[in-house]
């Protein structure tokens, strides 16, 4: 059975300890530091709901955040992270503890100062990552009730990206690039087809998810076979949407710096034509 030897209890919820390999770790959990003294032993069975930050950089970054929050905030963030772990049923990447704590602290500071930051990619995030968005909504609801505050809806989108990053190990900057790309694609479609796409409509969700899977295929280098007869038919029958699909593909190529196979234009044209039919019906 693994044991941890306490080096220092920073507060009721955070302990610096040594594992059996004499490696310094940070144990985080509600009440874990209560009445703990140096050289005390913490058994493996008691760390079931704790986070162990083994990465030295992550430890140092996390410890820098601790002076900026009180016990109630830290406890709420720890519980929120446990919620994400439980609901996603995935071993979260260590960096989420630092990133999520830092983000929530910053959000609380903005809220206290009356500075709300708009989330320009809220609708795209909700459509791209519905599972993560659902978890994030529960996290925000829990934090609001626990701390008696009101984080705006945009925070659900921001935290959803943190959840997705923790589950997939993709960086937030990478995810922001994809969100920005998809937002650019939607705006281009609306401008070129002279339509307004309802961000809560099933058509919007279908379009966003199709573009997401297109991006994933491009990044993986997965090739789709082009249905030549269908491509020729679409090019002839729906030239506006077909040409627009190629314009969108060029945007994807320029952003991802990867080639996009011709077959993508066929399936994208079908989505665009559906939107155009809805507008004219």
| Residue 207: pLDDT over 70 | yes
Q: Within its chain, how far is the Cα of 173 from the centroid?
A: 10
Task: Give the up-direction half-sphere exposure of residue 34: CA atoms within 13 A in the CB hemisphere.
Answer: 5
Contact at 8 Å (CB) between 32 and 49? no
SS3 assignment, position 87: helix
Q: How far is CA 72 from CA 20, 30, 128, in A?
A: 31, 10, 32
Q: How far apart are CA 40 and CA 49, in angstroms?
A: 19
pLDDT at 19: 85
pLDDT at 164: 92
Q: How far apart are CA 171 and CA 164, in angstroms?
A: 9
Q: How far apart are CA 63 and CA 53, in angstroms?
A: 11
Q: How far apart are CA 79 and CA 203, in angstroms?
A: 36
Question: Could you report the per-residue pLDDT of 124-178, keeping only the tens digit for each?
Answer: 999 999 999 999 999 999 999 999 999 999 999 999 999 999 888 888 888 988 9
pLDDT at 229: 83
The residues that bridge with 8 in the sheet, in sequence order, are: 16
Q: How far apart are CA 90 and CA 158, in angstroms?
A: 20
The residues that bridge with 43 in the sheet, in sequence order, are: 3
Question: Could you report the per-residue pLDDT of 59-102, keeping only the tens digit for each?
Answer: 888 888 877 678 888 888 888 988 998 898 877 777 788 889 99
Largest CA distance in the chain: 78
Six-digit token string for 199? 């961000």
DSSP 137: H
- Which residue, among 109, 132, 111, 280, has the nearest Cα to 194 in the 3D structure? 280
pLDDT at 152: 92
**Cβ neighbours of residue 220 under 8 Å, at least 6 residues apart?**
none
| Residue 50: pLDDT over 90 | no
What domains, with CATH codes, occur in the chain?
1-54 (2.30.24.10), 56-170 (1.10.1790.10), 172-280 (1.10.1790.10)
Contact at 8 Å (CB) between 26 and 9? no
Six-digit token string for 44? 């493996």
Question: Could you report the per-residue pLDDT of 221-278, keeping only the tens digit for each?
Answer: 887 777 788 888 888 999 999 999 999 999 999 999 999 988 899 999 999 998 888 7
């Amino acid at each position: 059975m693994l044991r941890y030897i306490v080096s220092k209890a920073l507060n009721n919820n955070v302990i610096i300890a040594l594992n059996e390999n004499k490696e310094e770790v940070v144990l985080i959990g509600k009440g874990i530091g209560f009445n703990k003294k140096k050289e005390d032993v913490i058994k493996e069975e008691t760390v079931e709901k704790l986070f162990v930050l083994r990465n030295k950089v992550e430890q140092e970054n996390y410890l820098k955040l601790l002076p900026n929050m009180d016990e109630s905030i830290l406890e709420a963030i720890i519980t929120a992270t446990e919620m994400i772990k439980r609901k996603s049923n995935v071993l979260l990447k260590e960096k989420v503890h630092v990133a999520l704590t830092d983000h929530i602290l910053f959000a609380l500071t903005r809220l206290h100062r009356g500075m709300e930051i708009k989330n320009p990619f809220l609708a795209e995030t909700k459509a791209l990552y519905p599972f993560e968005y659902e978890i994030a909504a529960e996290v925000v609801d829990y934090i609001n009730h626990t701390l008696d505050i009101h984080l705006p809806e945009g925070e659900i989108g921001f935290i959803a990206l943190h959840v997705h990053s923790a589950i997939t190990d993709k960086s937030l900057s990478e995810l922001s690039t994809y969100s920005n790309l998809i937002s650019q694609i939607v705006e281009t479609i609306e401008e070129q087809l002279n339509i307004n796409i309802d961000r809560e409509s099933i058509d919007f969700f279908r379009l966003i998810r199709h573009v997401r899977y297109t991006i994933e295929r491009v990044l993986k280098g997965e090739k789709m076979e082009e249905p030549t007869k269908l491509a020729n038919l679409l090019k002839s029958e729906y030239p506006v949407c077909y040409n627009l699909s190629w314009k969108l593909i060029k945007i994807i190529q320029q952003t991802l710096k990867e080639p996009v196979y011709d077959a993508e234009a066929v399936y994208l044209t079908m989505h665009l034509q559906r939107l155009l039919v809805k507008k004219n019906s």
